[in-house]
Structure 1
Amino acid sequence: MSTKTYVVGVGMTKFEKPGRRADWDYPAMAKESGELALADAGISYARVEQAYVGYVYGESTSGQRAVYELGLTGIPVVNVNNNCSTGSTALFLAAQAVRSGTVDCALALGFEKMQPGSLGSTYDDREQPMLRHILALAELYEVAMPPAPWMFGAAGREHMDTYGTTPEQFARIGEKNHRHSVDNPYAQFQDAYTLQEILDAKVIYEPLTKLQCSPTSDGSGAAIIASEAFVDRHGLAGQAVEIVGQSMVTDMRSSFEDNSAISLVGGKMTRAAADTVYERSGLEPSDVDVIELHDCFSTNELITYEALRLCPEGEGGKLVDAGDTTYGGRWVVNPSGGLISKGHPLGATGLAQCAELTWQLRGAADGRQVPGARVALQHNIGLGGAVVVTAYRPADR
Structure 2
Amino acid sequence: MTIGFEHNEKTADLLARLRAFMAEHIYPNEKLYYQQKTEGDRWAHIPLVDELKAKAKAAGLWNLFLPESRHGAGLTNLEYAPLCEEMGRVHFSPQVFNCQAPDTGNMETLERFGTEEHKARWLEPMLDGKMRSSFVMTEPAVASSDATNIQSSIVRDGDEYVINGRKWWISGIGERDCQILIFMGKTDPTAEKHKQQSMILIPRDTPGITVVRPMTLFGYDDAPHGHMEMIFENVRVPASNLLLGEGRGFEIAQARLGPGRIHHCMRQIGMAERALEAMCRRVKERVAFGKPLAEQGVIVERIANSRIMIDQARLLTLHAAHKMDTVGNKAAKAEIGMIKVAAPNMACQVIDWAIQAHGAAGLSQDFFLAEYYAHARKIRFADGPDEVHRHQIGRSELAKYS
Under a length normalisation based on structure 1, what TM-score does the superposition of the two structures give?
0.30
Judging by fraction of residues, say which structure has more helix. 2
RCO comparison, higher one (Cα < 8 Å, 6+): 1
